[in-house]
Amino acid sequence: MSISALYLHIPFCHAKCAYCDFDSRGLRGSALERALADYVPRLIDRIDAFGCAGALRFVDTVYIGGGTPTVLGWALADIVARVRSWCDPVEVTCEANPESFDGSLADALACAGVTRISLGVQSLDDTELVGIGRLHTSARALEALRCARDAGFDVSCDLMCGLPGQTRASWRETLQRLIAERPCHVSVYPLTLEEGTPLARRAEREPALVPSEDFQADCMEESERQLVCAGFHRYEVASYAQPGHACRHNLAYWTGRGYLGIGRSSAGMVDRACADRLAGLFPGLAGRLEAEPDAARVRFVQRDDAAERFDFECLTEREAVAEDLMLGMRLSRGVAAVDLEHATHLCGSHAVDEAVRASRDLGLARWVDEDGGARCLAPTERGWLLGNELYGIFWGLADPS
């Protein structure tokens, strides 16, 4: 398994949103400048270290997320150029928030080799935006979208449902206004109240702020109706794309391809052979691998700015296969029958057959025939709405008991 996807984490924003529990710091002015002056050189040094080790040679996609990468301004273009000095990816995505993205930055990123912008729109209702602590207005979001589109990018937009004060009418209007601007890709996420966030604390005092699961399910169904009617294809539980515009980087996560994360809180996943080759770049990894000779796959998370502390999780070959089946159930195509057959060699035919039967009996998955004749076990709409139940069935194959 070579590394085919690279993720870079920029843990800074101009302000934290009320719902956000990501690892990011809300900074402005000189405080932000000092933080970036410390963080960015470390990030670039880390990119170069992996480049020198040959780990970036086969990188096919790059995703720069956060936080809000566009708070870096033109320094973001320098980071992209540095990555491209080590590899030649076909897709380079930068996350952007409307308040820190304009035409001049769009042009700089395009010149550096960015191909795709993922814009945090969330809503096109100004009252809803204020309620979740967003800094932009709906007008500014649409302006940023047009800047990205005019610069030649594939444009993806994130939306959230279940926001305080959101109604079915306002959700329909947000979808209609966004679709009219012709993005290439739309992701739709139900709001989750994460413990410790300002919005979660407010909801303890105001229970009406707790999102209704039924309302969110209705919003997800309305999203599918409108987006499919507009020519989008739902290829993943939360993601819709125009033909040819699915996010290749996201697909790497759901199809078991090796990926590398650089920056605080970034995550990566590689196979044992790759982990052995790169162990010198991860303090503590060599000892962990020595202690777990059966590890077939290694997951890691960077826990500091200086890349001196990491959390590691080692998976056996059986666990890796179960994980691939579980993640494959996020995709509209599901998992191929041939992959299920492969799983029987590690998990046993009885266990795999029982997982398939359970998912079908519960109405969470069904057999479909793809173009070309491949048979796949694919999630149903119910399977997507009850994702944790579906994913749990296939992750259960990791347990040999």
Per the CB < 8 A criterion, the answer to whether 393 and 367 are in contact is no
Reported as a pLDDT band with limits 50, 70 and 90, residue 185 is: very high
pLDDT recorded at residue 2: 87
Do 246 and 364 belong together in one domain?
Answer: no
Is the torsion defined by CA of 182, 179, 368, 347 positive or negative? Answer: positive
pLDDT recorded at residue 373: 72
pLDDT recorded at residue 1: 58
Mean per-residue pLDDT, 182-196: 96
Distance between CA 352 and CA 349 in Å, rounded? 5
Name the residue type at position 320: A
Do 330 and 302 belong together in one domain?
Answer: no
Do 12 and 73 belong together in one domain?
Answer: yes
Give me the phi and psi of 215, to 5 degrees please: -65, -45
Distance between CA 190 and CA 160 in Å, rounded? 6
pTM: 0.95
Secondary structure letter of residue 211 according to DSSP: P
Specify if 377 maps to a domain.
Answer: yes
- Candidates 139, 102, 123, 276; CA nearest to 186 is 123
Flag whether pLDDT at 372 surpasses 80: no
Percentage with pLDDT > 70 across the chain:
100
Percentage with pLDDT > 90 across the chain:
96
Specify if 341 maps to a domain.
Answer: yes
Specify if 97 maps to a domain.
Answer: yes
Sheet with 365-369, side-by-side order of all strands? 335-336, 375-379, 365-369
Reported as a pLDDT band with limits 50, 70 and 90, residue 58 is: very high
Flag whether pLDDT at 343 surpasses 80: yes
Do 285 and 337 belong together in one domain?
Answer: no
Residue range of the domain that includes 280: 266-315
| From 63-67, 247-251, 259-263, 372-376, the region with the lowest mean pLDDT | 372-376
CATH number at residue 120: 3.20.20.70
Do 200 and 57 belong together in one domain?
Answer: yes
Do 196 and 278 belong together in one domain?
Answer: no
Tell me the two tokens of residue 186: 């739309």
* 11-25 confidence digits (pLDDT tens): 999 999 999 988 889
Mean per-residue pLDDT, 391-401: 93
Cα Dmax for the chain: 62
Do 246 and 151 belong together in one domain?
Answer: yes
Q: In 230-292, which ranges are continuous DSSP H helix? A: 248-254, 272-278, 285-291
Reported as a pLDDT band with limits 50, 70 and 90, residue 374 is: confident
